[in-house]
Amino acid sequence: MADINHVTLVGRLVRDSELVYLPSGQPVCRFSIAVNRKRKNGDQWVDEANFFDIVLWGRMGEAIGKYLLKGKQVGIEGELKQDRWEQDGQTRSKVEIVASNVMLLGGGSGGGSSSNGNSNPGGQGNTFQKRDGGGYNNSQSSYQGSGGYSGPVNESPEDFTDDIPF
């Protein structure tokens, strides 16, 4: 079986994102999120905050970076990457998440925002996904109600007439 390196998180930004350009001209957007984890302390449940550094490469960082503001809730999909370096004779390392999908969710400074700056009521966000060609797609969240009536649904067990085979 192949190894799997996949991370999915939902959390809140701890500060505004930072967009920089490498000498090659490639944009890089960096930000951090806090994700709460519930754990039991004695007989009470307490929240424990975990902090994760996220990096977005290329046009994705340019497109979404301006919407990544402190307190905003986001969904992240990506993979873990470990950087290693020497400092003062000691080997140091840091793990960060290289994002492949980012979803702007509600919260913080209001509901989700679309890429054109219009408000997105109801907290539904936009998803920015890596395309196979290297660019990024911007699509509305996958939920889209049909708005139509599909007729009555039989919910009571007496309407169920099939015999159970055991």
Find the domain containing 15 and state its range: 7-38+45-142
pLDDT value for 93: 94
Residue 129 has which token pair? 């996904």
Q: Per-residue pLDDT tens for 103-112?
A: 999 755 544 4
Q: Is residue 125 part of a domain?
A: yes
Q: Is residue 148 part of a domain?
A: no
Query: Count of CB atoms within 10 A of residue 31's CB?
Result: 27
Q: Is residue 79 part of a domain?
A: yes
Q: Is residue 166 part of a domain?
A: no
Task: Report the candidate in 144, 143, 68, 132 with the shortest Cα–Cα distance to residue 100.
Answer: 132
Which CATH number is 31's domain given?
A: 2.40.50.140
The pTM for the full model equals 0.63
Q: Is residue 161 part of a domain?
A: no
Q: Is residue 163 part of a domain?
A: no
pLDDT value for 5: 96
Structural domain total, the chain: 1
Burial status of residue 106 (CB atoms within 10 A of its CB: 0-12, 13-18, 19 or more): middle
Q: 140 or 86, which is more confident?
A: 86
Span 117-139, mean pLDDT?
46
Q: Is residue 159 part of a domain?
A: no
Residue type, 124: Q
pLDDT value for 108: 58
Q: Is residue 102 part of a domain?
A: yes
